[in-house]
Amino acid sequence: MPSQRLQINLGKINNPLSPQFQIKRLRNDRLRTKIEGYLTIQGVEIDRAAPPTWFVWLDDEETIFQARCGEPEDDEKLGEDDQPYNYLILAKITRNPLGRIRAVGLGFYHEDDLDPVK
């Protein structure tokens, strides 16, 4: 798939399993707004190579991926450990019968949730 940006469908706000519900639980309004804007308006850059691990395919078919929720050069401090790039989105790429590609959010979490030594 050529490098492109895909906007993420975050699901319904009233579904506790949806990324939209999890993002709305963030207490910092500016952080929440930046993450939502990045994912739903700007979109995630598919196959981003730098910085390493910013975008990672999680399956061989390249349909499920994990990506950071912000740009690395965004160094505006929003609070300790409260940068959009400290959060990750898990999403799945689907194609409709007409071939249109879209991404659906499956999960949203902080990078510390990945750390097995806590």
Q: Pick the closest to residue 2 from 60, 66, 61, 45 (CA basis).
A: 45
Domain span at residue 71 reads 5-114
Domain count, the chain: 1
pLDDT tens over the chain, length 118 residues? 456 899 999 999 999 999 999 999 999 999 999 999 999 999 999 988 888 888 999 999 999 999 999 887 655 555 556 789 899 999 999 988 888 899 999 999 998 887 655 4
Structure tokens at 10: 């975050």
The 3-state DSSP composition of the chain as helix, strand, coil percent (nearest 5) reads 25, 30, 50
Cα distance between residue 58 and residue 51, in whole Å: 17
